Amino acid sequence: MFLNALNKTVDKVIDNRSFAMQGKSYTPPTSLDTLFGGCTLGSQYGYSWLSAMASINYYSNIAPIAKSVNTVAKEFASIQPVLRNKKTNEYIREFELKTPASRVLKLLENPSDDVTGSEFKRESCSFEYITGNNFWVITSLTKDSEPINLEIAKPQDINISYASDGKPAQYNWNFADKNLMFVRENGGYRYFAQRNGLTYEIWHSRNFNPKSSTGNQWGLSPLNPIYMEIEQYMASNVHNLSLLNKGARPSGILLLEGMDDAQYERAKEQMRNCYQGADNAGNVLMFEGTGQKDFKQISISPKDMDFAELKKMVGDSIYNVLDIPLPFVSSENMTLNNYGEAKYILYDLNVLPFSDKLYEELTNFLLLRYKDGEKYELTYIEQEIPALQVRYNQEVERLIKTGVLTYDEARELLGYNPLNEGGNIIYQPLNLVPVGSTVETKSVRNYTKKDRFINIMEEKGFSSDEIKPYLDKFYKE
């Protein structure tokens, strides 16, 4: 009976936790010891990187991972793409008739009938952050005409076949009513499919993978380096939940009498398979036979094992590896002051580098289909990002105070019109004196005021002869 229960547990674990590895379909272990024996990722499955489906399952079940991905994706979705002229460095923020390439901004604003621009950006960020891979598909009339639609193909729905040179020969997209085979064109880097008179092209954006080689072009999931931390987090959750559900803690010494060697070995196997491990925490011990049996509880409890501290430690480790500042996600580390700084760190380490990569990929994929598209690139304007405007304004203020910028130059940077007059003058404090002098020196003090007085009078249109009487009156030694 206990073997039947164990097999059900095995099936449940396999169903809920997908460990299929890239490039190889998952085969359940034939030995129960293999599954419960704590084998490492590489030795158990022969590969050492997570598949797209395994990474997505982790995202769906592990709170720190979901929090990290959702945080970055939400911030990235708030960034508006613009078109930059590579030669003049001018920005185009919305579609304009005189610039055909600016139609790409309309495409990104509404990629398809059922996906908004914000949803597209959020999903693109999430898939690459979770799986290390992004697949975009455009629909058009011909191979080089402007796109009609822009879609995201989920990484778990993509299968890659490789050519003799080790590069992808074709991408197969199987999802719902879509079953498209994208074939490489003339040994190049573009992959097309045809269906119902329309042309489809796929683009693969991927993370760096140190184990990438010929015959393996998948990006490495950011979750791969924290595989062991994720497993610890899952095990602690399963253990605690099992204790709460079953209300028992068989942790102690079991005394058995009147058992022969075969019965004793069977009891040991039952203990190992049915009562050890996080998923079996709390199971009640049951044995058959007429001999005396006694169980002595040992004072090891969840508090002693400190699963709460383990979860916190593992959660912090996940946040650190994924470059999520702790004050941004943890109330224990959050204060009114460091929350704002944490958001800047999040952008500097995470959001902005990802934005650079994604918009570079979209530039290479989309703009070649637009007239004069090679003259432009998709990017963003950092000072217009809402979360960074306070920091940008503080930097402009600092440059004004240090005399680097005039008021008009600062107003231009902040999007305001110049002043009617006086906006191009750099003002300095009156107490600034040459090195080696002090403000107490009368000649220096008079020189500073006198020089400023002369400048003001000249700006008002007074000639030198008209200014001289005033100098003699107010600035005599």
Q: Helix and strand tally (H, E) in the chain?
A: 18, 12
> Is the model's pLDDT at 255 over the cut of 80?
no
Dump pLDDT digits (tens) for 27-37: 333 332 222 22
Residue 291 — very low, low, confident or very high, per pLDDT cuts 50/70/90?
low
Q: Which residues are within 8 A (CB) of 416 and not within 5 positions of it... i.e. 6 or more apart? A: none
Highest mean pLDDT among 10-24, 100-114, 321-335, 442-456: 100-114
DSSP reduced 3-state for 232: helix
Q: What is the pLDDT of residue 59?
A: 92
* pTM for this entry: 0.70
End-to-end CA, the chain: 111
Of 65 and 10, more confident:
65
Average pLDDT of 90-94?
A: 93
The pLDDT > 90 percentage for the chain reads 35
Q: What is the pLDDT of residue 56?
A: 92
CA-closest candidate to residue 220, choices 360, 47, 72, 365: 47
d(CA 182, CA 185): 9
Phi, psi of 151 (to 5 degrees): -125, 165
Q: What is the pLDDT of residue 8?
A: 41
Of 33 and 448, more confident:
448
Q: What is the pLDDT of residue 33?
A: 29
d(CA 9, CA 345): 43
Cβ atoms of 214 and 162 closer than 8 Å: yes
> Is the model's pLDDT at 321 over the cut of 80?
yes
Highest mean pLDDT among 128-132, 394-398, 436-440: 128-132
> Is the model's pLDDT at 338 over the cut of 70?
yes
Average pLDDT of 23-52?
A: 41
Q: What is the pLDDT of residue 476?
A: 67
Q: What is the pLDDT of residue 11?
A: 41
Dump pLDDT digits (tens) for 368-381: 999 999 999 999 99
CA-closest candidate to residue 221, choices 105, 78, 69: 69
Cβ atoms of 148 and 140 closer than 8 Å: yes
Could you write out the DSSP letters of every residue in 408-443? HHHHHHTT-PPPSSSTTPPP--TT---TT--TT-HH
Per mean pLDDT, which range of 136-140, 250-254, 357-361, 452-456 is the poorest?
A: 250-254
Average pLDDT of 387-405?
A: 83
d(CA 372, CA 392): 33
